[in-house]
Amino acid sequence: MSDIERLKFFGDESFDGKRERVAAVAGLFGTESEWSALEAAWVERTGGKEFHATTCETQYAHDPDQEKHRENLKLYEDLTKIIANSGIRGYGSSFDLMSYRANFPNDDLENGFLHGIGDVLKYCSRLALAENKQVEFFFDNRQGKEYVVNLLFQSLRDQPFLKDKNVFYGTKINFDNRKNPRIQAADLTAREAMKFLDNYIGPVRRPHRASLKTLANQRIQFVDEGPYFKDFREKLPEMAKRYGMDILEYDRWLSEHKLTDNHSNRLHYMRRLDEADPIKPDSVAETQI
């Protein structure tokens, strides 16, 4: 499949200011020609300057010179319209971190964003499969998390509905940085996914933002996962049984390799069951999160 036909997905994450209420993962996908057109319009509007959605909205919010704030809000609005008018599609998934804390009190709270990445990967993979296209994934650099993100990707590749379907271009997720205008567009989309839920469960309930409506009206879907973590916790025994995962054996495996229970090591253990091949302790210990 040529580069012209292949779908390229650029994604990013977003949290509320204190990283305690909402984690969101979102991104945009389109063909290379669609991305090239968006990128040209984006660079023209930003003047080639690096854009950060949160900074743009908040940097001058309390500055005595409110004209600076108005200029930034106009920039945010214009970039939102560039995405909406580009023909590129998108998807955003937001999760309630307070629910995560309540249902998984011993986990690192930031691991909540991994569920968002899994949801986004599945959505885009199903879409590519339905359209008989390959998809190539790019995410913003997530220092220290790249390994576990690729574990999620490998687990998805092994799912029966995708295995041997030639849906994915490449065997790993690519990582880029905020200097890439495509990642910047994903950053804006991820912020809208985060605000979508945070404005509902945050200290002050607010209506949907105009920027969210602009994107949602043009082929970009936003999903609030609501009771996801409660349902996920309740289904864990069933999921463990499906994978042939004996909890006592899992605990012994952790103890044997001097590991802690976390999202990364659960994925390692389930892949070990799939492959029936013991994982070397050293390789696992380096990936704890």
Contact yes or no for 111/142 (Cβ under 8 A): no
Nearest to 30 by CA among 89, 85, 83, 79: 89
**Which domains does the chain possess?**
7-228 (3.30.420.10), 243-289 (no CATH)
Kindly report, residue by residue over 9-23, the tens digit of the pLDDT: 999 999 998 888 999
Edge to edge, the sheet with strand 7-15 lists: 174-176, 135-140, 7-15, 22-30, 89-96, 220-224
Query: In terms of pLDDT, which residue wins out, 126 or 225?
Result: 126
Instruction: Provide the H-helix boundaries in 131-257.
Output: 146-157, 181-201, 210-216, 228-242, 247-256
Q: What integer pLDDT is reported at residue 222 of this predicted model?
A: 93
Query: In terms of pLDDT, which residue wins out, 142 or 37?
Result: 37
d(CA 1, CA 230): 41
Backbone angles phi, psi at 15, to 5 degrees: -125, 160
Mean pLDDT across the stretch 227-251?
A: 69
Kindly report, residue by residue over 243-262, the tens digit of the pLDDT: 566 666 767 767 777 666 66
Kindly report, residue by residue over 133-180, the tens digit of the pLDDT: 999 999 998 777 788 888 888 888 888 788 888 899 988 999 999 999
d(CA 29, CA 48): 22
Q: What integer pLDDT is reported at residue 287 of this predicted model?
A: 24
Q: For the ranges 72-86, 178-192, 202-216, which has the lowest average pLDDT?
A: 202-216
- Max CA distance (Å), the chain: 64
Structure confidence at residue 285 as a pLDDT band (50, 70, 90): very low
Nearest to 184 by CA among 24, 84, 38, 31: 38
Contact yes or no for 239/155 (Cβ under 8 A): no
User: How far, CA to CA in Å, does 178 sit from each of 139, 174, 231, 269?
Assistant: 10, 14, 34, 33
Contact yes or no for 190/11 (Cβ under 8 A): yes
Q: What integer pLDDT is reported at residue 289 of this predicted model?
A: 22
The DSSP bridge pattern shows strands 89-96 and 22-30 to be: antiparallel
Q: Which residues pair with 138 in a beta bridge?
A: 10, 174
Mean pLDDT of the chain: 83
Mean pLDDT across the stretch 193-217?
A: 92
Contact yes or no for 93/225 (Cβ under 8 A): yes
